[in-house]
Amino acid sequence: MKTPDFLRSARNVHLAIAVLMPFLTLIPGNSSAADPQKASVEDAVSAPHKRPNIIFILMDDAGPDSLGCYGSEQFAQTTPQIDKLAAEGLRFTRCFAGPMCSPSRYQLMTGQYPFRNGCVASVGMYDYSAGPNRPSTALTLQNAGYYTVAAGKDVEIVRSGLDEFIGQGTGFYWQAGEYRQQLPGKSVAKITKSEGGYFPDILQKYVLDSLDACAKKDQPFFIFYSMMNPHGLGGGKPYTQRTPDSDPADFNNDQALFRDNMEYIDKAVGEVVERLKKLSLLDNTLILIASDNGAIAANQSKMHDPASGTFRKIDGHKSDLREGNREGACLVPLIAYWPDQIRKPAVIKDVVDFTDILTTYTELAGTKIPNEWTVDGHSFAGLLKGDPSWKPREWIYAQDGYQWYLRGPDFRLNVDGRLFDMKDAPFGMTETAAPELAPLRAGYQSALDRLDPAGGITYESYQDQRLKNKEWAWKVREFKPLQQWVNYASGDAADPDQDGVPNIFERAFGWSPNRGGDTMPAPKLSENVHPWVEKRTLPFTLSNRIPQVGALELAVHIPPDKTSTSWELSLPPIVNDCVRVSVESSTDKNVWTPVEASGADVITFHGPITAGEGVHLRLRAERVEQQKPAGSKPGNQAAE
């Protein structure tokens, strides 16, 4: 096997052997290591004040097309402060995050890809991989002597290593509610915010006050500023929320409010820079500005295409990896500003992703990744420092559930084996089967095989871990779990009701970690209809790296009681030519009798509940394979 480039370097050979050998085949074959950096790292360790302060500002749902410096047509004059930092620093054009909020934050805070950190979809699987061996960006810096602060959305995803924080979940703006705060040496406290107070203003004040406090400390600091903007309010009309500077005439105008949110972000960034300058901290502070995913479709802007000289729309948007596997889901802006080190502004076309942040911080802090941690990132500290020996990584990896791809500078290999030419990205991509690309395809496939996402944490392995042998109540009349399974089986993997739980697999089983429990809200029952209790099986499997939808089986025992004399299950309209549903009943679980369905658009099953044993019911739903039209292309069968 070819020796990876980063092992051929002389720098930190002991680190490479002790830390990287257990998972060499899992990391792209190069690194930023070089002898000149060894001296600089040792200098940093011996003189901690030379290490940079680090501020990571994460926008929420702002794509490259949301910023003027990336050529936005609609928002060209909206972000002058950020544009100035980009003009004086490094602007990355091929930075990739997760396709939605939680996966990006997990990658950012663990340095791991989803199949390792447990967040394989939009809803974080918070408890699966918790433990002492779980990587933590904040802990890495804290152990290196940094004072660590976090503020904003979901900053508790990986809380280990934070000296203090303030935060809340998504969509917290003007409404009344609670947020959480932990001060140094104190327990986490819940703080009540009254209606009318703007939570992003609270976050901004906290960050500026933290800068004042950090300036008095004799140690470098790290601040993770996870902004709430421009992400909107789920179920809100309009979705995008107003800012304190919004014109009342625009309060129902999503596009105008999105612009207001970008202006608010820009003003906040400008205030952070000015405070750093006032405190004489700016020169040796690395400021990274990024977003967690692309913009939602409604807020996208056309972006300048240098190749054609025209304005074009990015192909894809937030969450569009699972639905369409398009570039715009995970492509995000990334800007690096560090006056002490970045002397030559540049546009960086090398591929980077959010797992690189932990390894970059580790190198900048002059510390080491613990032996027991497995991380996927590739440090770009050498790039920030202008080290000519730095080498970019060969590819990045992106995932949402069972959709994933490997992306290099010019080509991309999807989970289904299709290779795409990305020369027109981010505006489009072209499938290619050119024979001369066979070696590249084979190399990418080999890298995917070594990563082995299907062998890591999946929906099934997580559910087995968390819900093994568990039965849960589900008070439904229209039986939403089955409907969500039907949606996926018949090809509609979207979240049309915007219920805040876009993970199709989790919704299929009727639970949602981000709602704080295993049972989601459901329609009310009519009188004399007993709640169902469902026992889940595993209807999803992998075959040749392509997800297959198996049968869904649900079982329930309805005991006799005084209020329910009959049971009834109504199924909303389903694709009858794609899905077959059957229900059987029994009084003793030995003899099963098929239950006849009635109705046309709404299919209903019903029957009595006996006074003695009650009734046992079991439901089976299975996908009916359809004959493909002649000439159709092979692809992801579960998403057709």
Q: Where along the chain do its domains lie?
A: 5-414, 465-629
pLDDT tens-place string over residues 530-571: 333 233 333 333 333 333 445 666 677 777 766 667 777 766
CB 357 within 8 A of CB 137: yes
Q: Which helix (H) or strand (E) holds 506?
A: helix 504-509
Instruction: Tell me the one-letter amino acid at 138.
Output: A
Asked whether the predicted pLDDT for residue 176 surpasses 80, the reply is yes
Nearest-angstrom CA–CA distance, 7 and 13: 7
Q: Furthest-apart CA pair in the chain: how many Å?
A: 82
Nearest-angstrom CA–CA distance, 62 and 229: 8
**pLDDT computed for residue 146 by the predictor:** 98
540's tokens: 């999803």
Asked whether the predicted pLDDT for residue 604 surpasses 70, the reply is yes
Asked whether the predicted pLDDT for residue 447 surpasses 70, the reply is yes
Nearest-angstrom CA–CA distance, 33 and 623: 51
pLDDT tens-place string over residues 35-88: 322 333 333 333 334 899 999 999 999 999 999 999 999 999 999 999 999 999
pLDDT tens-place string over residues 261-279: 999 999 999 999 999 999 9
Nearest-angstrom CA–CA distance, 625 and 631: 17
Nearest-angstrom CA–CA distance, 441 and 392: 19
- The DSSP 8-state label assigned to residue 17 in this structure reads I
Q: Where are the alpha helices (DSSP H) in 144-249?
A: 199-214
pLDDT tens-place string over residues 324-376: 678 999 999 999 999 999 989 999 999 999 999 999 999 999 999 999 899 99
Asked whether the predicted pLDDT for residue 234 surpasses 60, the reply is yes
- The DSSP 8-state label assigned to residue 297 in this structure reads G
Tokens 């991380």 belong to 375
Tokens 């199924």 belong to 571
Nearest-angstrom CA–CA distance, 178 and 186: 18
Q: Is the pTM for the entire model greater than 0.85?
A: no
| Secondary-structure class of domain 5-414 per CATH | alpha beta
